[in-house]
Amino acid sequence: MPGSIPLIGERFPEIEVNTTQGKLRLPDHFDGKWFVLFSHPADFTPVCTTEFVAFQLRYDEFRKLNTELIGLSIDQVFSHMKWIEWIKENIKVEGKPVEIEFPVIADDLGNVSAKLGLIHESKGTNTVRAVFIVDPKGVIRAILYYPQELGRNVDEILRMIKGFQVSDENGVAMPHNWPNNEIVNDHVIVPPAASVEEKEQRKKQEERGEMECFDWWLCHKKI
């Protein structure tokens, strides 16, 4: 439908963007990798600064998961560059300056934000705190929207990517707060049986120690 924003399960729209690291074409620039595109309301704002620092401090963890980061706001490139410079000069963690390494999209005309649904009129003309998690095939796997007054939990975004990768590799689902769930601990959820025959097989699989079940429709196992 014309003018609609992208949805989970759809391919990330093809967009050429201007960034602090030059022009990039998405999603092709990250072909074969996961990537997280996250928007922030504006440069030189307190909450956004804390988020950028958090993303950078975990950048190595993202890269270990074959995942890249790319930020976005409606500011111009020179503003992004000056803000990144300010962070390096003024923010230190454990005595070390924080140097932002990932690219940041300059969407000063608002075209990218409009296409991705990042401007919510009731919250003003700046972008909300959105997150798009995109897989190596360019498919959107998750979309998160936060209001401007609430900073994100970057560890949760890392957890989501880990969960997606385990799910894709093993055909399982993740319980609440995996891998620290209250009832199954670090186990993953086995999809419910889809037939009577498969239901009966669950009993045998449990007897062989291949999984544990509260009932045939709620089984879990260690990965």
**Is the Cα torsion angle 169, 172, 176, 180 positive or negative in sign?**
negative
CA of residue 190 relative to chain centroid, distance: 24
Measure the CA–CA gap between 79 and 89, rounded to whole angstroms.
15
Beta-bridge partner residues of 212: 220
Q: Which residues are catalytic?
A: 48
CA-CA distances (angstroms) from residue 216 to 43, 50, 111, 213, 222?
A: 52, 45, 50, 6, 17
> Is there a cis peptide before residue 175, judged by omega within 30 degrees of 0?
no
- As given in the structure block, the two tokens for residue 104 are 């940041």
Measure the CA–CA gap between 63 and 65, rounded to whole angstroms.
5
Helices (H), 45-188: 46-57, 59-64, 77-90, 111-116, 154-170
Residues in the chain: 223
